[in-house]
Amino acid sequence: MNNIVAIVGRPNVGKSTFFNRLIKRREAIVDSVSGVTRDRNYGKSEWNGKEFSVIDTGGYIKGSDDVFEGEIRRQVELAIDEADAIIFVVDVEEGITPMDAEVAKLLRKVTKPILLAVNKVDNAMREKDAVEFYNLGLGEYFTIASISGSGTGELLDKLVEVLPELPEVTEEELALPRFCVVGRPNAGKSSFINALIGEDRFVVTDIAGTTRDAIDTKYNRFGFEFNLVDTAGIRRKAKVKEDLEFYSVMRSVRAIEHSDVCVLLIDATRGFEGQDQSIFWLAEKNRKGVVILVNKWDLVEKDTMSTRDYENKIKEELKPFTDVPILFVSALTKQRLLKALETTVQVFENRKQRIQTSKFNDYMLKLIEAYPPPALKGKYVKIKYCMQLPTPTPQFVFFANLPQYVQEAYKRFLENKIRENWDFSGVPIDIYIREK
């Protein structure tokens, strides 16, 4: 699990450029995953060996300069509640604006680490202009130019120094599968969890969670045993407006990073909305198992085709990762809750399965021989050997003479064939092509 760092500030000060610089530094090390660009507001970064999650609050504000001050204020308040450290970005060209002063006023009351980044400082003159930002009352500042990257190193050195130490996860916690229930506000997460836990509260032991504001409820009924990561999203804070997209995503980050399988609850009466998609891609990007539950199904007018139509609609939005279980449930009438549990446990098993190398080669190499990668620029790619990597989530490597000529479409073909032969339903898979 990682610390969460939120980037705040008014629009057009260069937050997104700075955010992209942070996560690119990380993505340069890791193979870029298809679908990663779907959610431009969340990513992982690493500096001096310390990994942390970054959230760009700016990406969630719809509209530009005419944005309501209230919207920015709400986002800053939420970042203060949820993040472990905050980077406040201001713009040297414009100096201190009333909105900056407003944000600084909120941040001065906070005990968490706050780093002030004065952006667009790309020459000595501007270095002098930056002095006025002392007036914000946030202490020392860092001058950066997020486009060229100058100054970001010093800022990040300080950031990793002030990030709080996270508690170690105990052996006992690691032993049990960890499932989290996520979704937008009012999708019925609380009712779903209460329906699972039922009134027999004595079956449940509350272990104080290793995450602030998330409680691990140990669940054992109907022959299942796992930790339910109950997130702060369930105990809503009144001051946060319900319609804030940023809210459900930020609340979900901690829970998702902390779990093995995410149960994404969507409201059948509203459909699969942008916010649900953001949470889905957040789980996918973190390589977690996913089960989608369409809740409040008892409230939907049905005809003979409705579940299939509904399912196809969702899968259309999920492309290319469509091998995900979708169940239609009702927390109110307890319809299919047991099936939802069984499916979640199955996805957990799928995620940790290991395929014997000899069996994997027997099946895949025959297939590759029949359908080799298409030749590119007259070069023929030969794949001679493949295996599953010993990683916590399913990753497969194929050794080829010319890995650079293997296209994304062929990797997807390989993934689809693996899914046809082995059950990886609900689990993201990584395919790597390496030189033999």
d(CA 330, CA 268): 9
295 is annotated as contributing to ligand binding = yes
Residue whose C-alpha is closest to residue 248's, from 188, 179, 184: 184
2 is annotated as contributing to ligand binding = no
16 is annotated as contributing to ligand binding = yes
Phi, psi of 270 (to 5 degrees): -110, -20
Any long-range contacts for 29-35 (C-beta under 8 Å, 24+ apart)?
A: 31/430, 31/432, 33/285, 33/428, 33/430, 34/320, 34/408, 34/412, 35/281, 35/284, 35/285, 35/320, 35/321
297 is annotated as contributing to ligand binding = yes
247 is annotated as contributing to ligand binding = no
CATH of domain 171-342: 3.40.50.300
d(CA 19, CA 59): 10
239 is annotated as contributing to ligand binding = no
281 is annotated as contributing to ligand binding = no
Q: Between 33 and 342, name the one with better pLDDT.
A: 342
Model confidence over 111-132: pLDDT tens digits? Answer: 999 999 999 998 888 889 899 9
d(CA 364, CA 359): 9
Query: What pLDDT, on the 0 to 100 scale, is given for residue 426?
Result: 96
Residue whose C-alpha is closest to residue 398's, from 416, 420, 414: 414
What global pTM score does this model have? 0.76
Query: What pLDDT, on the 0 to 100 scale, is given for residue 213?
Result: 45
Q: Can you spell out the DSSP letters for 140-201? A: -EEE-BTTTTBTHHHHHHHHHHHSPPPPPPPHHHHHS-EEEEE-STTSSHHHHHHHHH-S-G
129 is annotated as contributing to ligand binding = no
Q: Which amino acid is at 284?
A: E
Domains 3-162 and 171-342 share a fold: yes
Query: What pLDDT, on the 0 to 100 scale, is given for residue 366?
Result: 95
117 is annotated as contributing to ligand binding = no
Query: What pLDDT, on the 0 to 100 scale, is given for residue 203?
Result: 35
d(CA 258, CA 253): 8
In this structure, CATH architecture of domain 357-435: 2-Layer Sandwich (3.30)
Phi, psi of 77 (to 5 degrees): -60, -40
Does the pLDDT at position 73 exceed 70?
Answer: yes
Query: What pLDDT, on the 0 to 100 scale, is given for residue 40?
Result: 57
In this structure, CATH architecture of domain 3-162: 3-Layer(aba) Sandwich (3.40)
303 is annotated as contributing to ligand binding = no
Assign 223 to helix, strand or coil.
coil
Share of the chain above pLDDT 90, in %: 44
14 is annotated as contributing to ligand binding = yes
Query: What pLDDT, on the 0 to 100 scale, is given for residue 32?
Result: 38
296 is annotated as contributing to ligand binding = yes
153 is annotated as contributing to ligand binding = no
d(CA 201, CA 228): 14
Domain ranges of the chain: 3-162, 171-342, 357-435
40 is annotated as contributing to ligand binding = no
186 is annotated as contributing to ligand binding = yes
252 is annotated as contributing to ligand binding = no
217 is annotated as contributing to ligand binding = no
pLDDT band per the 50, 70, 90 thresholds, residue 247: low
Query: What pLDDT, on the 0 to 100 scale, is given for residue 253?
Result: 83
pLDDT band per the 50, 70, 90 thresholds, residue 192: confident
* CA dihedral sign, ordered 231, 42, 57, 97: positive
Query: What pLDDT, on the 0 to 100 scale, is given for residue 248?
Result: 67
313 is annotated as contributing to ligand binding = no
Model confidence over 165-184: pLDDT tens digits? Answer: 877 766 666 678 889 998 88
109 is annotated as contributing to ligand binding = no
| Average pLDDT rounded to a whole number, residues 190-215 | 52
Query: What pLDDT, on the 0 to 100 scale, is given for residue 331?
Result: 86
Q: Are 430 and 395 in contact (CB under 8 A)?
A: yes
Query: What pLDDT, on the 0 to 100 scale, is given for residue 205?
Result: 37
Contacts of residue 335, Cβ cutoff 8 Å, sequence gap at least 6: 297, 298, 328, 329
12 is annotated as contributing to ligand binding = yes
Does the pLDDT at position 371 exceed 90?
Answer: yes
198 is annotated as contributing to ligand binding = no
Does the pLDDT at position 381 exceed 60?
Answer: yes
Query: What pLDDT, on the 0 to 100 scale, is given for residue 261?
Result: 95
What is the CB neighbour count within 10 angstroms for residue 43? Answer: 20
24 is annotated as contributing to ligand binding = no
254 is annotated as contributing to ligand binding = no
| Average pLDDT rounded to a whole number, residues 331-359 | 93
pLDDT band per the 50, 70, 90 thresholds, residue 208: very low
Does the pLDDT at position 137 exceed 50?
Answer: yes
Query: What pLDDT, on the 0 to 100 scale, is given for residue 16?
Result: 83
| Average pLDDT rounded to a whole number, residues 210-232 | 65
Does the pLDDT at position 278 exceed 60?
Answer: yes
Does the pLDDT at position 43 exceed 50?
Answer: yes
260 is annotated as contributing to ligand binding = no
| Average pLDDT rounded to a whole number, residues 201-226 | 54
Query: What pLDDT, on the 0 to 100 scale, is given for residue 183?
Result: 87
390 is annotated as contributing to ligand binding = no
Does the pLDDT at position 265 exceed 60?
Answer: yes
Residue whose C-alpha is closest to residue 226's, from 205, 256, 251: 205
Query: What pLDDT, on the 0 to 100 scale, is given for residue 389?
Result: 95
10 is annotated as contributing to ligand binding = yes
d(CA 214, CA 255): 7
434 is annotated as contributing to ligand binding = no
Report the DSSP pairing between strands 430-435 and 50-56: unpaired
